[in-house]
Amino acid sequence: MSKVTFYGAASGIVTGSCHLLDTNDVRILVDCGLFQGSKKVVRLNWQGFGFDPSTIDAVFLTHAHLDHCGRLPLLVKHGFNGPIFATDATRDLTKIILYDAFKLHKEAVEEGRLGPGVTSLQYTEDDIKKVLSLFKVVKYGEFYNFKNGVRFRLRDAGHILGSASYEIWIKTEEGRERKIVFSGDLGQPGQRIIRDPDYIREADYVVVESTYGGRLHPDKATTVLEFLEILKDLNKNRGVAIIPVFAVERAQEILYELNLLVERGILDKELSFYLDSPMASEVTRVFERYSKYYDEDALLLLEKGDQPFRFPGLRFVKSVRESKMLKDAKDAVIMAGSGMITGGRIGHHIINHAYKPTAHIVFVGYQVPGSVGRLILDGRKKVKIYGRVVQINAKVHYLQGFSSHADQYDLMYWLRNFGRSVRQIFLVHGENDQREALAHKIYLEMQHNAYMPLLGETVYLR
């Protein structure tokens, strides 16, 4: 009998997405992501897959985030040799993300941070090269025959550039066709650069993410107005705004909003803008290459001859020397990684500016418990960065409307499209309180008992 085993993003763990669809004839891995977060969770990366990678026929990759693609080099190292299906944009972003992750992996090994028993590199750059050579680019909306009667189609998941949901048709032993949908990570509708998630009408089984299954995002307009207030304050007090950014999608969203604010002449005086992240700059170039995936808003800008990620006053900072010169910046917005101040150049900017009452620290994304970003967001006045105690006198903001994940309302809207066709919904990729909240909502609105699988649990598709 066909079955799915949840090897990641289950049991209330958000990261490590990795689901094995096994039809007896064909074994398909949907995503092969890295476990991230607490030490206990991170250790799962190095404890084996729970299956033999050489028996997998193909990987269906939903998108380039590390928690979905990060263990592909390990998969290849341990014998996987099949195709990796994904969109072209996902392939290009995955390349950037895997090389960046390898750098962090090397550092973690050198500093002995991978836990007891893990003292050497778990994979090499050659494994990454092998991963990249296995990519088979597929298009949204087209049907592909894989093998032994398995067909699939990618739909836009509206989460980050190139992100996809998978519709997969399989044959049961009795010869009946069954359809299973893997949502991947779903975005919120109404984003400006990428398109809204596609709505899928029918499925027998649905595996859906639940990151914000119990939450509602504040609306985008409020967020943009808050952002504008901060910039106006810079105009008035000659301060600096420090924005910890995630290199993929969020950095581009911020550049996009700034482009609109600057070029419409809404600011009182000129400001300087620095994107101090070589990785985010590289990702921005990928975004510029794939305008074919833009939503109307971004396409309209392009038609008018405006480049959505470039505007007067913006500099893409390359060298560390140039980054250090931002120590005395005034009337400036500095964007740098990492997004949760867990490393990277952002730490130095916090050290250099956060003690000033005219400075602003602007969070634009989720801050995981334990990160420096979370401590600052929770109001801590002294934090330790790179061994130094930093006094936080800056004003702290949290602009929540930039989320690239669907909230409860968006998830329900997406799920409602399946109507009565669905035999079973499975909730993955969410902390337990979020999964439970979504399951409850699904029960109230669809009279359906959604299932919350455990890590390593197998479910049968009848």
Choices 59-67, 169-177, 217-225, 384-392; region in contact with Zn ion by CB under 5 A = 59-67
Minimum CB distance to Zn ion smaller for 196 or for 331: 196
d(CA 280, CA 258): 15
By CB under 5 A, the count of residues binding Zn ion is 3
185 binds Zn ion (CB under 5 A): yes
Residue 140, token pair as written in the block:
């949204």
Instruction: Return the number of the residue (185 or 436) whose C-beta is nearest Zn ion.
Output: 185
Beginning with the edge strand found earlier in the chain, give each strand of the sheet holding 360-363 in spatial order: 314-316, 272-276, 332-336, 240-244, 360-363, 395-398
From the list 61-69, 96-104, 141-149, 414-422, the region that binds Zn ion by CB under 5 A is 61-69
What minimum distance in Å lies between the beta carbon of 160 and Zn ion?
6
- Least distance (Å) between residue 67 CB and Zn ion: 4
Whose Cβ is closer to Zn ion: residue 259's or residue 400's?
400
- Only one of the segments 121-129, 178-186, 229-237, 320-328 lies at the binding site for Zn ion (rule: CB under 5 A); that segment is 178-186
Q: Which of 5, 36, 42, 65 binds Zn ion (CB under 5 A)?
A: 65
- The least CB distance from residue 323 to Zn ion, in Å, is 27
Q: Is 296 helix (H, G, I), strand (E, B) or coil?
A: helix
Q: 213: closest CA among 5, 392, 427, 369?
A: 427
How many whole angstroms separate alpha carbon 3 and alpha carbon 154? 21
Mark the segment that binds Zn ion (CB under 5 A) among 64-72, 130-138, 224-232, 369-377: 64-72
Residues 6+ apart with CB under 8 A from 377: 363, 367, 396, 398
Q: Cis peptide leading into 421, omega within 30 of 0?
A: no
Amino acid symbol at 351? I
**Which string of x and - marks every residue 215-244 that binds Zn ion (by CB under 5 A)?**
------------------------------
We find the least distance from the C-beta atom of residue 178 to Zn ion, in angstroms, to be 25
How many whole angstroms separate alpha carbon 1 and alpha carbon 8? 22
Cβ within 8 Å of residue 58, ≥6 positions away: 26, 28, 29, 82, 83, 84, 85, 146
Q: With contact defined as beta carbons under 8 Å apart, do 315 and 309 qualify?
A: no
Q: How far is the CB of 217 from Zn ion (least distance, A)?
A: 15
Selected range binding Zn ion among 181-189, 192-200, 219-227, 358-366, rule: CB under 5 A = 181-189
Closest by alpha carbon to 429, among 50, 157, 43, 102? 157
Q: How far is the CB of 89 from Zn ion (least distance, A)?
A: 13
Nearer to Zn ion, 62 or 352 (CB): 62
CB of 317 to Zn ion, least distance (A): 26
Nearer to Zn ion, 7 or 316 (CB): 7
Question: Residue by residue, what is the 3-state secondary structure of 259-294?
Answer: HHHHHCCCCCCCCEEEEECHHHHHHHHHHHHCHHHE
Alpha carbon distance 397, 364 (integer Å): 8
C-alpha 452/C-alpha 434 separation (Å) is 11
Cα gap 120→200, rounded to integer Å: 44
Which CB, 198 or 204, lies closer to Zn ion? Answer: 198
Q: How far is the CB of 427 from Zn ion (least distance, A)?
A: 14
H-type alpha helices, 134-214: none
The verdict on 31 binding Zn ion (CB under 5 A) reads no
Q: Lay out the site mask for Zn ion across 67-106 (x = CB under 5 A, - = otherwise).
A: x---------------------------------------
Q: In angstroms, what is the minimal distance from the CB of 16 to Zn ion?
A: 9
Residue 22 or 185 having the CB closest to Zn ion: 185
Judged by CB under 5 A, which stretch of 139-147, 180-188, 354-362, 419-427 contacts Zn ion? 180-188
Tell me if 406 sits within 8 A of 187, measured CB to CB. Answer: yes
Q: For residues 65 and 155, which CB has a smaller minimum distance to Zn ion in the complex?
A: 65
Binding residues for Zn ion restricted to 132-151, rule: CB under 5 A: none
The least CB distance from residue 93 to Zn ion, in Å, is: 11
Which stretch in 122-130, 184-192, 240-248, 325-333 sits in contact with Zn ion by CB under 5 A? Answer: 184-192
**Contacts to Zn ion from residues 399-458, by CB under 5 A:** none
Sequential DSSP letters for 169-188: EEE-TTS-EEEEEE--SPPP
Q: What are the two backbone dihedrals, phi and then psi, of residue 132, each rounded to the nearest 5 degrees?
A: -65, -30
223 vs 404, beta carbon nearer Zn ion? 404
Tell me how far, at minimum, the Cβ of 59 lies from Zn ion, in Å.
16
Which chain residues interact with Zn ion by CB under 5 A?
A: 65, 67, 185
